[in-house]
């Protein structure tokens, strides 16, 4: 019995990429085996599990399985004021760029950082991100890696990412060549924003949609709000609508599903991987 | 010993209004007595405690104490699709307008409502708000009450309020005369938005800043994210910066502090009222 028969019909997974965090209960070999079995062509990786399995070993494992690494998560955290902290952050980002190149992905996702302790200066924090991009953009370009600024939902503005909208992300990105700096379009972070469709068009017009990610919006949000992303189809977001926006803007690349969810993480990883592939096929293929 | 001596210096509370929800552990008479003792001139009321104490009794208590009711919270919840639900919501809002008039306040704050169960249509929900405002605006105007659309933080977009930015609120409000429909400017909901200062100017230019409220942004957010608003000065928001924006836009009215916070609610109400007045004087007077 083929996979298609067991899951009830033909599924188009040709653009699907599973972000590793979605099924973080799977080891790297389990993830790769699951993708091969289900016909999932792409994976988005995170630095910590890559380091745990080994950078070169991961690159080899993925390459030998014929999978594509669509993104590496994540660089960023550029908002420190202290010079030593800033230098350390830049050095860590150079290492992240090197790792992306070794893994064979052309996209490093950036979570830019929140407000330093005690600061109330959002504008200053955003300017420090620009300073960091000016240093890192050329370094990344030389290694075939593009930086993808991810606007995070405004509920993360103080503690995780002062870049809250696609408009803000593009205001930063457009100071640099598109081959160096673009944006991450993630439905979870922008779905509420009626200005986002126009910003997706703006990003597409300058070739700056470097990755497109999906997660659904469900409530109630859990304490800390980090691990409440919904499975595709379970929440308030019309995935086809957002897919249509990025496609109208010229984006034809992989579509990653990236969920952080304690309830999903408590389940069997392979079952969750299969469900996520099915939801992708149903709502976004 | 005067109040000023006990709290360590002269305090300008002339524009301060305490939103009742901030000190919800206080009964209506306790709230009024506390305001009189501390020299707080204004209160923002909520319909439920007003109903519990009695509408006419509340109006008399506040009037006799020489206090001003700056706002009544809240009308709204306009996004239902079902005709019977919509009719009931409109009728409930007419009662809220009547109550505002009886209490002697000119401003009814509106929390517009989230997505109906199963809906993913933010645009449609926003249009249904406009339909409701067209019915309620004239009714309110005839009773000397203005409707103040409150954009809520985008983290409430699905379950509480599909109006997430001042720009969206003004796009709705400007379909109606300013004497009927304006906006609520609340720091907690808009502080992350670099477009908000320009929208405050836009609101001021057409006389649509109907109330200005303060709360600070602190993390981590609690489960459900409703009761995590920070005491003034405890978080990421520069209150003087936002006060300067509304003043530059011509707003000279009361400034309400509205906190929802389980930790604060567990404290002695009069002590919390005194602390809040001090924080107002320190950060926003």
Residues in chain B, pLDDT under 70: 1-10
Confidence at residue A256, expressed as pLDDT on a 0 to 100 scale: 98
Confidence at residue A222, expressed as pLDDT on a 0 to 100 scale: 97
pLDDT by residue (tens digit) across A151-201? 999 999 999 999 999 999 999 999 999 999 999 999 999 999 999 999 999
Q: Chain A contact for B219, CB < 8 A?
A: yes
Is residue B3 assigned to a domain?
Answer: no
B254 close to B243: Cβ distance less than 8 angstroms: no
Least CB–CB distance from A192: residue in B164, B225, B236: B164
Confidence at residue A11, expressed as pLDDT on a 0 to 100 scale: 87
Mean pLDDT of A54-73: 98
Q: Could you tell me the residue range of the domain that residue A143 belongs to?
A: 3-283
Distance from CA of B202 to the nearest CA of A (A): 17
Q: Taking Cα atoms as reference points, which of B73, B78, B82, B47 lies closest to residue B162?
A: B78
B32 close to B63: Cβ distance less than 8 angstroms: no
Burial degree of A165 (CB within 10 A; 0-12, 13-18, 19+): buried
Is residue B248 assigned to a domain?
Answer: yes
Q: Which residues of A99-120 are buried (b: 16+ CB within 10 A; e: fewer)?
A: bbbbbebbbbbbbbbbbeeebb
Size of interface A-B (CB pairs under 8 A): 92
Confidence at residue B9, expressed as pLDDT on a 0 to 100 scale: 52
Chain B stretch 125-164, residues whose beta carbon is closer than 8 A to a beta carbon of chain A: 126, 153-155, 157-159, 164
Count of domains forming chain A: 1
Q: Please, which pLDDT band fits residue A10 given cuts at 50, 70 and 90?
A: low
Confidence at residue B8, expressed as pLDDT on a 0 to 100 scale: 45
CA A280 – CA B154 distance, rounded (Å): 25
Residues of A in contact with B117 (CB under 8 A): none
Mean pLDDT for all residues in chain B: 96
Q: Mention every residue, 6+ apart, whose C-beta is less than 8 A from residue B85.
A: none
Distance from CA of A194 to the nearest CA of B (A): 8
Whether residue B192 and residue A123 make contact (CB cut-off 8 A), yes or no, is no
Q: Residue B52 is part of a domain; what is its CATH number?
A: 3.20.20.150
Least CB–CB distance from A158: residue in B123, B195, B236: B236
Rounded to 5 degrees, φ, ψ at B186 are -125, 120
CA A213 – CA A111 distance, rounded (Å): 14
Confidence at residue A6, expressed as pLDDT on a 0 to 100 scale: 44
| Complex prediction ipTM | 0.94
Is residue B271 assigned to a domain?
Answer: yes
Distance from CA of A154 to the nearest CA of B (A): 6
A276 close to A232: Cβ distance less than 8 angstroms: yes
CA A28 – CA A4 distance, rounded (Å): 24
Of A6-20, A39-53, A67-81, give the lowest mean pLDDT range.
Answer: A6-20
CB neighbours of residue A247 within 10 Å: 14
- Per the DSSP assignment, residues forming a β-bridge with B181 are B147
Residues of A in contact with B220 (CB under 8 A): 159, 223-225
Mean pLDDT for all residues in chain A: 96
Handedness of CA A129, A87, A19, A229 (dihedral sign): negative
- Per the DSSP assignment, residues forming a β-bridge with B163 are none
E strand or H helix that includes residue B179 = none
Confidence at residue B1, expressed as pLDDT on a 0 to 100 scale: 36
CA B34 – CA B137 distance, rounded (Å): 34
Distance from CA of B181 to the nearest CA of A (A): 21
Least CB–CB distance from B223: residue in A158, A193, A220: A220
Handedness of CA B94, B111, B251, B230 (dihedral sign): positive
Is residue B45 assigned to a domain?
Answer: yes
Mean pLDDT of A53-57: 98
DSSP 3-state assignment of B54? coil
Q: Please, which pLDDT band fits residue A2 given cuts at 50, 70 and 90?
A: very low
């Amino acid at each position: 019995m083929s996979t298609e028969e067991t899951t009830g019909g033909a599924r188009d997974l040709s653009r699907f990429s599973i972000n590793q965090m979605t099924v973080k209960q799977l080891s790297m070999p389990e993830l790769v085996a699951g993708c091969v079995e289900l016909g999932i062509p792409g994976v988005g990786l995170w630095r910590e599990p890559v380091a745990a399995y080994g950078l070169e070993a991961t690159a080899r494992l993925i390459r030998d399985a014929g999978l594509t690494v669509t993104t590496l998560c994540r660089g960023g955290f550029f908002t420190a004021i202290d010079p030593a902290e800033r230098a350390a952050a830049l050095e860590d980002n150079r290492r992240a760029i090197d790792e992306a190149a070794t893994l064979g992905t052309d996209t490093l996702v950036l979570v830019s950082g929140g407000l330093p302790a005690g600061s109330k200066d959002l504008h200053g924090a955003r300017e420090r991100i620009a300073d960091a991009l000016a240093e890192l953009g050329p370094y990344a370009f030389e290694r075939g890696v593009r930086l993808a600024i991810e606007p995070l939902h405004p509920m993360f503005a103080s503690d995780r990412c002062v870049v809250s909208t696609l408009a803000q992300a593009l205001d930063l990105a457009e100071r640099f060549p598109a081959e160096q700096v673009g944006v991450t379009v993630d439905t979870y972070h922008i779905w509420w924003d009626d200005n986002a469709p126009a910003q997706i068009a703006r990003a597409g017009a300058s070739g700056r949609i470097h990755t497109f990610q999906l997660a659904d919006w469900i409530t109630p949000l859990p304490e800390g709000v980090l691990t409440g992303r919904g499975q595709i189809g379970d929440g308030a977001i019309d995935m086809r609508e957002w897919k249509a926006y990025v496609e109208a803007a010229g984006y034809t690349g992989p579509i990653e599903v990236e969920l952080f969810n304690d309830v999903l993480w408590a389940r069997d990883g392979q079952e969750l991987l299969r469900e996520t592939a099915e939801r992708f096929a149903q709502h976004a293929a």
